[in-house]
Amino acid sequence: MDEDGSAIGQQYADRLKLAEACDRLGFYAYHLAEHHCSPHGRSPSPNLFLSSVAQRTGELRLGPLVMLLSLHHPLRAFEEICMLDHLSGGRVEMGMGRGSLPIELGYFGI
């Protein structure tokens, strides 16, 4: 969900339409990376966005790839993943990682 210059609300709406089209066309999965303070993505909370995708699709597998575990409390991360899996009817594919961009991990060079 890279920055494309449009308003953030429009960007989210466009991505939801894209996910619906992917589901209709028989795509296997829709994966979304977690990014913070970066032009690489407008999705600081993939699970929140994917819960909306889950309500608009029926077959598409959903994946937060990757969830930055260093930024989440372990119990909260586990609960959110489980809740998303239930809301989607068992369609979650999980990816976890430590991240790679220093600005996203709180290292601002101070």
Encode pLDDT of 32-68 as tens digits.
888 776 777 788 889 999 999 999 999 999 998 878 7
Q: What is the mean pLDDT of residues 83-94?
A: 96
Q: Which tokens belong to 63? A: 């994946």
Q: What pLDDT is attached to residue 103?
A: 65
DSSP state of 68: E
Specify the amino acid at residue 3.
E
For all residues of the chain together, what is the average pLDDT? 86
Q: What pLDDT is attached to residue 35?
A: 79
In contact, 20 and 12? CB cutoff 8 Å: no
Structural domain harbouring 65: 8-101
Percentage of residues of the chain with pLDDT beyond 90: 53
Global confidence as pTM: 0.85
Q: Which residues pair with 61 in a beta bridge?
A: 29
In a domain, 109, yes or no: no
Q: Find the helix packing angle between 46-56 and 74-87, rounded to 10°.
A: 10
In a domain, 108, yes or no: no
The total of structural domains in the chain comes to 1
Distance CA 110, CA 91 (A): 41
In a domain, 26, yes or no: yes
Q: What pLDDT is attached to residue 110?
A: 40
In a domain, 2, yes or no: no
